[in-house]
Structure 1
Amino acid sequence: MTSAGIEDQLKQFGLSEKEIQTYLAILEQGEAKASTIADDTGVSKRYVYSICEKLEDRGFVDVDDHVVPTKIRAKPPETVIEMLSGRLEDIEPVLKQRFSETSSRPQRFDVIKSRVTVIKRLREYIESAEQEVVLAVPEGYLPEVAEELSAAIDRGVLVLLLVSDVDDPEHALDGIDGPVGSVVRVWELGMPVLLAADEQLGIASPAEMVSRANSDDRAIAIVQGQIVPIISSSFLANYWPFARQHFVVDPVELPQTYRSFRHATLQATLHSQAEATVYARATGQPVETDDSFTTLQGAVVETRQGMVEPQTNTIPIEHTIIIETEEGNVSIGGPDSFLEDYEARKVTLERP
Structure 2
Amino acid sequence: MTTGPGDLSGANAAGDVDVEALLKRFGLSDKEIDTYLTLLEHGEAKASTVAEAAGVSKRYVYSASEELEARGFVTVNDHVTPTTIRANPPGEVVDRLANDAKSMRPALEARFSREEAATEPFEVVKSRVTVVKRIRRAIAEASEEVTLSFPLDRLDEVTDDLRDAVDRGVLVLLLLTGADEGEADLGERLSGVATAARTWGQPMPSMLTVDGRTGVVAPAEMVARTNSGTQAIVFTQQQLGPVIVGSFLGNYWPAAAEAVVTEPAPLPATYTNFRHAVLQAELHRRSSDAVAAHVSGRRTDSGDPVETSGEVVEVSQGLVSPANNEFPVQHSLTIEVDDERISVGGKGAFVEDVEATEIRLEPSVAGE
What's the TM-score bracket when you normalise by the shorter of the two chains? 0.5 to 0.7
Letter in 1 for 2:316: R
Supply the distance in 2 between the matched residues of 1:296 and 1:279 (Cα, whole angstroms): 11
1:294 corresponds to which of 306, 325, 331: 306
Contact 2:301 2:353 in 1 (8 A): no
**In the alignment, structure 1 residue 268 sits paired with structure 2 residue 281:** yes
Summarize the Cα distance change of 1:152–1:199 in structure 2 as closer, same or farther, 3 Å threshold.
Answer: same
Aligned to 2:27: none
- Partner Cα distance (1:153, 1:168) in 2: 26
1:252 match: secondary structure: coil
1:149 aligned to which of 138, 148, 162: 162
1:341 to partner: Cα distance: 0.9
Asked if 1:115 is matched to 2:128, the reply is yes
Helix, strand or coil for the counterpart of 2:253? Answer: helix
Give the alignment partner of residue 203 of structure 1, picking from 207, 216, 219: 216
| Counterpart position of 1:319 | 331
| 1:174-224: CA deviation from partner (whole Å, max 9, x where unpaired) | 773742110010111110000000001111000111122111111000001
Q: What is the TM-score with the length of structure 1 in the denominator?
A: 0.68
Partner of 1:161: 174
Distance 1:281 1:105, change over 3 A: farther
Partner Cα distance (1:123, 1:343) in 2: 32
Matched, 1:341 2:347: no
Query: Given the superposition, is the C-alpha separation of residues 110 and 274 from structure 1 closer, same or farther in structure 2, using an over 3 Å criterion?
Result: same
What aligned pairs does 1:72-87 form with structure 2 within 5 A after superposition?
none
Q: Which of 198, 201, 217 is equivalent to 1:185? A: 198
Residue among 291, 310, 320 paired with 1:308: 320
C-alpha change, 1:237 and 1:177, in structure 2 (3 Å) is closer
Find the aligned partners of 2:253 and 2:317 in 1 and give their Cα distance. 12
Indicate if the aligned counterparts of 1:109 and 1:223 stay in contact, CA closer than 8 A: yes
Partner deviation per Cα, 1:110-142 (whole Å, 9 max, x = no partner)? 001010011000100000000000000011111
Structure 1 segment 279-290 matched on structure 2, within 5 A: 279-287=292-300, 289-290=302-303
SS at 1:234's partner residue?
helix
1:105 Cα deviation (Å)? 7.6
Name the aligned partner's letter for residue 170 of structure 2: V
Residue 144 of structure 1, CA deviation: 0.6
Deviations 1:135-183 (A, max 9, x none): 0001111111000000001000000000011124432637737421100
Distance in 1 of aligned mates of 2:234 and 2:270: 30
Compare CA radii of gyration and give the structure with the larger one. Answer: 2
Match of 1:254 among 242, 252, 267: 267
Q: Using the TM superposition, give the Cα deviation of residue 284 of structure 1 relative to its aligned residue in structure 2, in angstroms.
A: 1.9
Closer, same or farther: CA 287–105 of 1 in aligned 2, 3 Å = farther
d(CA) in 1 for partners of 2:239 and 2:272?
18
Distance 1:177 1:264, change over 3 A: closer
Structure 1 residue matching 2:319: 3-state secondary structure: coil
The 10-residue stretch of structure 1 (166-175 or 295-304) with the greater mean CA deviation from structure 2: 166-175
Q: Compare relative contact order (CA 8 Å, sep 6+) and give the higher one, 1 or 2.
A: 1
C-alpha contact 2:205 2:219 (8 A) present in aligned 1: yes
- Aligned AA (2:248): F
